[in-house]
Amino acid sequence: MVAACGRSDSGVSGGIPASIRYPDHVAAGGNQPPAVEVKNPIPSDSTVVADGGKIFSAMNCDGCHGGGATGWVGPSLVDGRWRYGGTDGALFQSIFYGRPRGMPAYGGILSPGAIWKIVSYIRAQPVPVTVPTESFK
C-alpha cells in the first residue's frame, strides 16, 4: 500500500518509527515483540546520497566518525560491522536516540527526513578493502 507523499507503508508515522524490530537480535524466549521492520521512506538516489553526505559533514558526524565515516573516535560506519545493527531502522534509531557509549541523540536536532538522507549516505558507502579495526566489539 502506498500512502500520501509517495511514502510506502513502512510503519513509519510522521517520519518517526514507533517501534523497531532488530532482525539480528534474538529476544528472550525466541519471540520477537510485535513490531514493524522500518524501511527508509526516501528512495535512495545519487542526489539523496550526496545530500546525506553534506549533512554528515555539516552536523560534524565526521568530527567523530572521520571523513567518509571510516572511523575516528567514533566507530567506522562503512566497515560492514555494526554494534547496534546496520539495517535502515537500526541506523535511524542510533542517530535519532543516540547510543550509550558516546553517540549523541540527534532526534531533536535533525528532522526525520535529514536522518533518512544520512542513512542513505551511510548505506551507499562501499566497504573499504582494508579496515582499520580488527573488531569493534
What lies within 8 Å, CB to CB, of 46 at 6+ separation is none
- Decide whether 56 or 116 has the Cβ nearer to ligand HEC: 56
Minimum CB–partner distance for residue 24 and ligand HEC (Å)? 11
**Nearest Cα to 110, choosing from 99, 101, 119?**
119
Minimum CB–partner distance for residue 79 and ligand HEC (Å)? 9
- Decide whether 19 or 133 has the Cβ nearer to ligand HEC: 133
Chain residues that interact with ligand HEC, rule: CB under 6 A = 56, 59-61, 63-65, 74-75, 77, 82-84, 91, 94-95, 99-104, 106, 118
- Decide whether 36 or 64 has the Cβ nearer to ligand HEC: 64
**Nearest Cα to 135, choosing from 61, 83, 62?**
83
What lies within 8 Å, CB to CB, of 25 at 6+ separation is 85
All three cell numbers of 123 = 548505506
Minimum CB–partner distance for residue 37 and ligand HEC (Å)? 17
